[in-house]
Each structure stands twice: as structure tokens, then as C-alpha cells.
């Protein structure tokens, strides 16, 4: 009986084997087609980004007074940075699938986009974007492509209108000698502020008051300083005054002499009562016709003082922030030539949580040493730094700083294991009279200096653009100060960083 069944068994096995072979061949064909399809989509994305970036850059160099055109420019900019982010995500995930997580090679040979796409499909290693599946990234790519295709097909009228706008004068060449010697983004907001300043006041011709509200350290004063330094604004106003909001009650009635149009920039760090404000505002009515007042504050209630709708500045989106950090970190180097360095920069950009100060600090030390092992060492330090602060304070260090709470930076310092507290930063003029020892934040992270055992001043970032502020912190080892007043209760929930 077994002899009679053997031919039938062989036929069944042969049929199953043939079916498996056909399925495998079909799988390989579909996989090859998927690779080819993805390559075409990525190539198309790069072409669209080139076209939109060209239009955005040209529009940012023109005086645009049409509010709808400014909204369209903002939409184009946001879509552009989102496209760059999706493109980097694809490259990033592909590179994560090829690198050894435990050993970091010092070699940074360029990896072609085609090979990256193939690796992206053949390995599902989780790395950094752990919550983002391949399917999600494909969906993002299709969504971005559809959005950019629509924008490109509908921007003909925008391009024509931009061509009719007056060009802004070019800055001198030495403006670009330093890669961080420029204001990133905020071009739409800058144009909106300028449009308000250059318009005539409505009857009864009292000074227009524009409040600019945002959280700490997102660039309010930098934005206003760039507006005030614009040639059109400087020639429009005969006088530009900068005052502290807390000192306006000392302003005498005859302080504002009608010598022409005047622009007053007020910075409020605390609220002001309505009586004091009305008293001050009545004195400004003596300024020349067309005078304006700009209020800068992080306090939302101050917006009630405006005579027009306030402007709210948000932090940079992740896409914008990641793009900015790479521009600062690589300087004149092309990130595409160093994909593994670009991978580290992408990871660190998200971990930093949108802090402009930390971005400039890390970018400065990265530009000075573009070595993969060094960048990976700094990345590992920052991971440990975040894990430590989440474990102790249950919050991201950026949020702690914004709430005026100390941050433990001991994991960023190689020479100590004792808790090293960093107090909330503040802005000081360059001629600071502090007698404390001074240490640069970048040197501390890079490990080129040893922190003093006593209290010291940590210089975080010295801006090269107006208003030329120096961001400093006071740092001290926790044994020297009672930190219980500032520290929240330890977090029971453990947060792991891969």
C-alpha cells in the first residue's frame, strides 16, 4: 500500500514546491518593483523640494506687503521643511538598518541613496524613530509628495506676484563669514511686523501698539532687532527707543518730544496695571504722527495693551529645527557626503527638544570636530543626560529651564559623577561684572575643561546677530546649595533611551 501512495506523495510535494517557488519569485518581483517605485518617489521629492526652495528663497528676499501672499509663503516654507524631514527620515532609517548599534566605525563613507533605499526595505531595525513604522513613513512620503505636487502646480500666480515685489538690499559678504550669523526663518513674521510699522495710523492717529507674545528663548528680541535694523524701517522712523517695561512709570510727561516718527520697543517681564499703562500711553501721543509701539513679553495678559491683534511666536517645528541644526552643525560641509554624521545630528535634533541655545552650543562643537566617534560620544552623553533628568525631575530639561527650575548636567561632564546643577539661563551684556569663574558650555560638553568645584558661570551662547546677547547660567555642585527649593519630587516612572 505504501508503494502505491508514494507517487501521489511525490506529486503533492512537487506541486507544493512549485507553488512556493512561484510565490517567492512573485515576492522578489514585487519587492524589486517596490524598490524602483520608491526610488522614483524619492527622486521626485528631491526635484519638488528644489523648485519650492528656489521660490521660497526668492520670496524671502522681497518686500511683500500682501497679507495673503505672506500666508502662502508660510505654507510653502512649512511644506518644504516637512519634505526635507521626510527625506531625512527615509535616509535615516535606512542607515540605522546598516549600522552596528554597539560598535561605531570611524569611517563615514558616503552611502548612496539607492543603497539606502534597499537597506531600508531589507531590515526592520528600530532606531530613534522607534514609533514610526515603514508603513507610516511610506504614508508620509505619499502625503508629502501629493501636497508638494499640488503646491507646485498652483504657485504660478504666486511666482508672478513675487516677481513684481521690490528686492531687499543684499547684505555685505562678511555677513555670511559665520554660518550662525543670520536669523533662521521668521521671514513671514518679519514682513508682517514691517507692514504694521510702515503703515499710517488710523484716526485719531494715536500710536499703534503691536504686542509680540511667546515663551522664553524663541527669538522675540532677535526678530524685533532685525526689523529695527532694516533700512526701510530705519529711514521711516527718526528715532527708535528701547525701554524696559518696568521703568515706564518713571517716564515723565515731557519725555517724548514731537521730533518726528518714533518707534518705541518695550520689553515686559512682568504684568502692568491699566492705570500705569494709560498714563504712559498718554505721554506717547505727543510723538510724531505715524509713531508705533512694539511690546515684547512672554506674559499673555500683556496682549490686552495692543491696539491691533497681537502676534504670537511659536517654537520652531521639529522639521524646521532639525533643518536648522544640520545647517549649523555641518557649516560649509555637505551633509550628504557624511550620512552617518547626519544620522547622529538627526537623533540629537529631536533629543534637544527645540532649544535654540543648546542647538547652537552643540553645533559649534560639532563644526570644530567632524569626527563620527566624537559626535557619537556627544550623542551618548546627551542621552544619559536626558535619562537622568527624566528619572529625577520627570521632565525634559528644556521645560525645566522654561519653568525656572535647575537641571542636572553631571552626565554631560566626563570628569565628575556628583550632581552638578545648572540654574535657569539669563541674558547679560558682554560687559558683565560677575566675578565668578567662567566656563564655556561647549568646552564642558566636549570635555576640554574641568568644572571648578565652586560656583561658576557657564557661558552658553554668545549671539553674533542683534541684539548680541550672551546667554549665561550659574552652575554649582549640589552640595554647595540647598536645591530642595527648586527640585521636584523624584519620578517613579523609569524612562529608557535606546
Average pLDDT over residues 230-234: 90
At residue 117, φ and ψ (nearest 5 deg) are: -65, -40
The 10 Å Cβ neighbour count of residue 44 is 14
Query: Is the peptide bond between 337 and the residue preceding it cis, with omega within 30 degrees of 0?
Result: no
List the alpha helices (DSSP H) in 154-199: 156-163, 187-198
What are 34-52's pLDDT values in tens digits? 666 778 888 899 999 999 9
Tell me the whole-structure pTM to 2 decimals. Answer: 0.74
Contacts 24+ apart (CB under 8 A), 99-106: 99/127, 99/340, 99/343, 101/125, 101/127, 104/372, 104/373, 104/376, 105/340, 105/372, 106/371, 106/372, 106/373
**Rounded to 5, what percent of the chain is helix, strand, coil?**
55, 10, 35
Residues 6+ apart with CB under 8 A from 54: none
Residue 178, pLDDT above cutoff 50: no
Mean pLDDT of the chain: 77
Helix (H, G, I), strand (E, B) or coil at 468: coil
What are 267-295's pLDDT values in tens digits? 998 888 888 898 888 888 878 788 999 99
Least reliable range by pLDDT among 136-140, 342-346, 463-467 = 463-467
- Would you state the torsion angle of the CA atoms of residues 38, 127, 355, 233, taken in this order, to the nearest 10 degrees? -10
Q: Which residue has the cell 490686552?
A: 304
Query: Is the peptide bond between 204 and the residue preceding it cis, with omega within 30 degrees of 0?
Result: yes
> With pLDDT > 70 as the criterion, what percentage of the chain qualifies?
71
Ordered domains of the chain (ranges, CATH):
14-98+125-164 (1.20.1270), 187-312 (3.40.50.300), 318-477 (no CATH)
Expressed in angstroms, the distance from the first to the final Cα of the chain is 61
Q: Which of 179, 169, 287, 172 is nearest to 239 (CA)?
A: 287
CA distance readout (Å), 11 to 6, 14, 20, 24: 9, 5, 14, 20
What are 66-92's pLDDT values in tens digits? 999 999 999 999 999 999 999 888 877
Q: Which of 43, 46, 138, 125 is nearest to 90 (CA)?
A: 138
What are 371-430's pLDDT values in tens digits? 999 999 999 999 999 999 998 888 898 888 888 888 998 888 876 677 888 887 655 554
Average pLDDT over residues 324-343: 88
CA distance readout (Å), 373 to 113, 342, 344, 369: 23, 13, 10, 10
Average pLDDT over residues 159-174: 79
- 465 burial (CB, 10 Å; 0-12 / 13-18 / 19+) is middle
What are 88-118's pLDDT values in tens digits? 888 776 666 555 444 433 333 333 333 433 3
Angle at which helices 187-198 and 67-96 cross, to 10°: 170
Q: Which of 363, 55, 13 is nearest to 187 (CA)?
A: 55
Report the residue count for the chain. 498
Q: Which of 302, 294, 293, 248 is nearest to 271 (CA)?
A: 302
Q: Which of 214, 374, 385 is nearest to 295 (CA)?
A: 214
Amino acid at each position: 500500500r505504501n508503494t502505491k501512495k508514494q507517487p501521489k506523495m511525490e506529486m503533492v510535494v512537487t506541486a507544493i514546491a512549485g507553488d512556493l517557488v512561484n510565490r517567492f519569485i512573485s515576492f522578489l518581483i514585487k519587492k524589486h518593483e517596490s524598490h524602483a517605485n520608491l526610488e522614483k518617489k524619492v527622486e521626485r521629492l528631491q526635484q519638488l523640494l528644489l523648485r519650492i526652495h528656489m521660490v521660497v528663497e526668492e520670496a524671502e528676499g522681497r518686500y511683500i506687503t500682501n497679507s495673503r501672499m505672506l500666508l502662502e509663503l508660510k505654507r510653502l516654507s512649512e511644506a518644504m521643511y516637512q519634505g526635507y524631514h521626510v527625506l531625512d527620515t527615509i535616509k535615516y532609517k535606512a542607515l540605522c538598518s546598516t549600522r552596528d548599534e554597539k560598535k561605531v566605525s570611524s569611517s563615514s563613507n558616503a552611502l548612496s541613496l539607492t543603497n539606502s533605499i534597499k537597506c531600508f526595505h531589507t531590515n526592520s531595525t528600530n532606531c530613534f524613530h522607534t514609533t514610526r513604522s515603514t508603513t507610516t513613513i511610506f504614508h508620509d512620503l505619499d502625503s508629502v509628495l501629493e501636497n508638494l505636487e499640488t503646491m507646485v502646480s498652483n504657485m504660478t500666480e504666486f511666482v508672478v506676484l513675487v516677481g513684481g515685489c521690490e528686492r531687499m538690499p543684499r547684505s555685505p559678504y562678511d555677513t555670511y563669514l559665520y554660518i550662525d550669523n543670520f536669523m533662521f526663518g521668521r521671514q513671514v513674521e518679519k514682513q508682517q511686523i514691517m507692514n504694521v510699522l510702515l503703515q499710517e495710523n488710523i484716526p485719531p492717529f494715536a500710536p499703534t501698539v503691536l504686542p509680540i507674545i511667546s515663551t522664553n528663548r524663541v527669538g522675540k528680541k532677535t526678530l524685533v532687532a532685525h526689523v529695527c535694523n532694516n533700512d526701510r524701517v530705519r529711514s521711516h522712523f527718526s528715532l527708535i527707543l528701547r525701554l524696559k517695561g518696568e521703568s515706564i512709570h518713571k517716564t515723565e510727561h515731557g519725555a517724548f518730544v514731537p521730533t518726528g516718527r518714533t518707534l518705541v520697543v518695550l520689553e515686559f517681564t512682568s504684568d502692568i496695571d491699566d492705570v500705569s499703562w494709560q498714563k504712559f500711553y498718554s505721554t506717547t501721543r505727543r510723538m510724531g504722527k505715524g509713531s508705533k509701539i512694539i511690546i515684547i513679553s512672554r506674559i499673555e495678559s500683556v496682549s490686552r495693551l495692543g491696539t491691533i491683534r497681537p502676534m504670537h511666536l511659536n517654537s520652531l517645528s521639529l522639521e524646521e529645527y532639525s533643518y536648522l541644526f544640520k545647517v549649523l552643525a555641518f557649516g560649509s560641509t555637505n551633509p550628504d557626503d557624511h550620512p552617518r554624521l547626519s544620522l547622529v545630528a538627526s537623533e540629537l535634533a529631536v533629543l534637544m527638544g527645540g532649544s535654540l541655545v543648546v542647538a547652537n552650543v552643540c553645533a559649534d562643537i560639532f563644526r570644530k570636530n567632524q569626527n563620527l566617534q566624537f559626535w557619537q560620544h556627544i550623542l551618548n552623553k546627551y542621552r544619559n543626560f536626558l535619562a537622568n533628568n527624566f528619572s529625577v525631575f520627570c521632565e525634559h530639561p528644556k521645560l525645566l529651564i522654561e519653568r525656572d527650575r535647575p537641571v542636572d548636567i553631571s552626565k554631560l561632564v566626563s570628569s565628575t559623577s556628583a550632581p552638578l546643577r545648572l540654574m535657569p539661563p539669563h541674558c547679560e551684556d558682554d560687559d558683565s561684572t560677575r566675578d565668578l569663574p567662567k566656563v564655556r558650555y561647549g568646552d564642558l560638553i566636549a570635555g576640554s575643561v574641568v568644572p571648578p568645584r565652586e560656583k561658576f558661570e557657564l557661558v552658553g551662547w554668545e549671539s553674533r546677530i542683534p541684539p548680541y546677547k550672551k546667554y549665561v547660567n550659574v552652575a554649582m555642585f549640589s552640595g554647595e546649595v540647598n536645591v530642595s527649593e527648586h527640585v521636584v519630587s523624584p519620578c517613579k516612572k523609569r524612562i529608557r533611551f535606546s
